[in-house]
């Protein structure tokens, strides 16, 4: 995914915006992890997981995050 830093930055911004538009709170602490909060739960995405999601179509990535949040106990 990181073949072009500009492409990665755009993909990251697009996915962050889409998640926020769907009502999720998204934090990007300096650890490189992405924390997504919604449905009363917080999902901690490791950098490699986030990078992978950024390669997916945005709707699919948002749906995958929603599914992962729903699966948390």
pLDDT tens digits, the chain, 73 residues: what are they?
445 678 888 999 999 999 999 999 999 888 889 999 998 999 999 999 999 999 999 999 999 999 999 999 7
Q: Cβ neighbours of residue 14 under 8 Å, at least 6 residues apart?
A: 58
Q: Tell me if residue 62 falls in helix, strand or coil.
A: helix
Which range marks the domain in which residue 23 is found? 5-71
Which CATH number characterizes residue 38's domain? Answer: 3.30.250
Q: In sequence order, which ranges of 1-73 are alpha helices (DSSP H)?
A: 5-21, 47-53, 58-71
What is each CA distance from 33 to 7, 49, 50, 55, in whole angstroms? 19, 9, 8, 17
Split into its structural domains, the chain has a count of: 1
What is the pTM (predicted TM-score) of this model? Answer: 0.86
């Amino acid at each position: 995914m990181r073949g072009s830093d500009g492409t990665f930055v755009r993909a990251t911004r697009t996915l962050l915006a889409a998640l926020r538009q769907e009502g999720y709170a998204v934090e990007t602490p300096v650890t490189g992890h992405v924390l997504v909060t919604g449905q009363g739960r917080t999902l901690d995405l490791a950098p490699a997981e986030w990078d992978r999601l950024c390669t997916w179509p945005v709707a699919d990535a948002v749906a995958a995050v929603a599914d992962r949040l729903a699966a948390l106990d």
